[in-house]
Structure 1
Amino acid sequence: MSKYLVNKFLYTVDRDPHLVERYREDPRGTVEWWETERAGRILNCHSGEASTWLGFDDAERDALAGHDYPALFEMGAHPFLTLTLFIALFERDYDEPLGFQQEYARRLSHFTLPHPDIAT
């Protein structure tokens, strides 16, 4: 797994409200578009520099396209990046305060310490 690329996806999508909505409505299409158009861009570089070797593997692509944050966590995606993006995606679907955060914790509750390695 390329933790760097998965975390880069989570980070860049979370910081653009239009991409958040696009990812919510069309997750697979957004992942495919982002991988093709944005994955090779150097993070925070606007000078046109790009890389040509970065891409998701099938498990990463499926987890991202399926909004499967437990699988992403298990693969080593950074928990703060997954949490903030998925709050932006799904918090509005819960009536009670912190409803999504409680769901996130419940779905990750089967993990025990030490948690998956998040080092990139």
Structure 2
Amino acid sequence: MSKYLLDKFLYTVDRDADLTERYREDPAGTVDWWESTMANALLNSHSGEASTWLRFTDEERAALAGHDHVALFALGAHPFLTLTLFIAMFERDHDEPLFYQKQYGARLAHFELPYPDIAT
């Protein structure tokens, strides 16, 4: 498991409006594409350097493909990264102000301290 890779996915997808829409519409395809093309690229690097070993586990891939922020939290993905990305994808589906944020919190309410470690 790589919390770094989960967070990197969430971070990079959230910062590209086209990629955010692609992830909303085709989550499994986006996860597969991102893993094969972006996972091993150095974050914020334009030098062409890359690593070769980073891969999602099956559990991580399923959580990402399922837009499952509860599973991602349990896996150690940073909750601010999931929240900001998922607001961008799903807030528009609800008319009530802050509906998605409230739903997000309610779905995480069963977690007790100590929370999963979100350090990378």
Q: TM-score range by the shorter chain?
A: over 0.9
Report the CA distance between 1:119 and its aligned residue: 0.8
Q: What code does the residue aligned with 2:72 have?
A: L
The alignment of Structure 1 onto Structure 2 pairs a total of residues equal to 120
For 1:17-66, what per-residue CA distance to the aligned partner results, in whole angstroms no more than 9, with x for missing partners? Answer: 00000000000000000000000100000110011100101000000000
C-alpha distance in 2 between matches for 1:99 and 1:14? 20
Q: What code does the residue aligned with 2:19 have?
A: L
Q: What code does the residue aligned with 2:17 have?
A: P
CA RMSD of aligned residues (A): 0.5
- Aligned residue in 1 for 2:101: 101
Report the CA distance between 1:75 and its aligned residue: 0.7
- Listed as ranges, the gaps of 5+ residues in structure 2 are none
Deviating 4+ runs (over 4 angstroms):
none
C-alpha distance in 1 between matches for 2:39 and 2:77? 16
Identity of aligned residues (%): 73
Q: What code does the residue aligned with 2:109 have?
A: S
- For the pair 1:25 / 2:25, whether they are aligned, the reply is yes
Q: What code does the residue aligned with 2:102 have?
A: Q
Q: TM-score, normalised by structure 1?
A: 0.99
Q: What code does the residue aligned with 1:112 have?
A: E
Q: TM-score, normalised by structure 2?
A: 0.99
The within-5 A match list for 1:4-43 is: 4-43=4-43
C-alpha distance in 2 between matches for 1:2 and 1:47? 23
